[in-house]
Homo-oligomer: A and B are copies of this chain.
Amino acid sequence: MTIAPEAANVNPERIFETLNAYQKTAALKTAIELDVFSAIAAGATTHESIAKRCQTSERGMRILCDYLVINGFLIKNGQDYSLADDSATFLDRRSPAYLGDAARFLALPEMMNLYHDLTAVVRAGTSSKGEEATAEPDSSKWVEFARSMGALQRISAAAVAETLGASAGEKWKVLDVAAGHGMYGVTIAKQNPNAEIFALDWPEVLKVAHENAKAAGVAARHHHLPGSAFDLDFGKDYDIVLLTGFLHHFDPQTIDTILRKAHAALKPGGRAVTVEFVPNEDRVTPPTTAAFSMIMLGTTRAGDAYPYSEYDKMFRKAGFTLNELRRGPGPQSFIISKK
């Protein structure tokens, strides 16, 4: 049996692991659905006791927990499991930073199905099925997004409000384009009692944003512009236009349409605030940020994770005079653009 000489020094384990990587998604989603992390945090430490609390088989729970250890979400000491730091912070339901609901959206079967024939998508250069799901008014996908992704954005929304100086309390008129869960506008309204927020999105999605505004006690200053960002008149004299997690869905020409509308809607000196996955110019770092382009390939017609140089070009073309990139606390960055 002849083996290539170089094979002696390399092994195919990473290839094997990657071909099975879909099981990592399934296992983490299942552990969140079964509330395994909360069960362990509440004192169940063996696979038998976790299985009992989560009402599962012992065999299934043992294999699931061992797999979560292998992938770093749990720690195993003898027969006892405990939580890794990120699991304790984000996956124990009693933690204030719980974001298990994000799993509902990120691993939604209709999202995952878009990758069943990624080969065809790469050939065509576009995800026609993803585009349908994205463009459909009141798509259940976006309601699910609004419902489940708010928690994941809390830290980032707080950082945006702070970056803008919301707590200084200036009288602000804020447009929240494609508001989704509405957390960015809601957080600004919470930190600035003189801010009026105009949230634009499909009616069913705005219901979710409204719930969040109510929970934050700012519903009276949270107004609704129901409809599509492409069809609707934005209104005018805004101090701030929020473009959070929106532009990445589109090609530069479509983005230009939105940026011109945003520019026209701002007061002179007003600011557009873009929250986006902005990789470095090499488009491969930082990893989580750069990998977002694969989500755009699978789920949109022509979206992307644009590097800053491309956003800068697009904003200048639309009439903005000054752009500034700030790295956010997570994988997203903020671009502040001045009219």
Contact call B60/A19, Cβ cutoff below 8 A: no
What's the Cα separation between A30 and B30 when bound, in Å?
A: 26
User: How far does the alpha carbon of A88 sit from the alpha carbon of B5 in the complex, in Å?
Assistant: 12
**A18-B28, A97-B4 known; A293-B12 Cβ under 8 A:** no
Minimal Cβ-Cβ distance residue in B for A158: B1
Residues of B within 8 A of A57 (CB): 122-126
Quick one: which of A17, A25, A124 has the most chain B CB within 10 A?
A25
The SS class assigned to the A binding surface is helix
The interface bits of chain A over 317-330 (1 if a CB of B lies within 8 angstroms of the residue's CB, else 0) are: 00000000000011
Inter-chain contact B122/A294, CB cutoff 8 Å: no
A310 touches B (CB below 8 Å): no
Q: 6 closest A-B pairs (Cβ-Cβ)? A: A57-B125, A60-B122, A22-B22, A26-B115, A19-B106, A21-B24
Select which of B3, B21, B73 is within 8 A of A25 by beta carbon: B21
Indicate if the CB atoms of A4 and B34 lie closer than 8 Å.
no
Most buried by B among A103, A118, A155: A118
Tell me the minimal C-beta distance from A30 to chain B in angstroms.
4
Chain A: residues with Cβ within 8 Å of the partner, total of 101
CB distance from A121 to the nearest CB of B (A): 6
CA distance A255 to B197 in the complex (A): 66
CB-contacts of A20-70 with B (<8 A): 20-30, 33-34, 55-64, 66-67, 69-70
Q: Chain B's nearest CB lies how many Å from the CB of A45?
A: 15
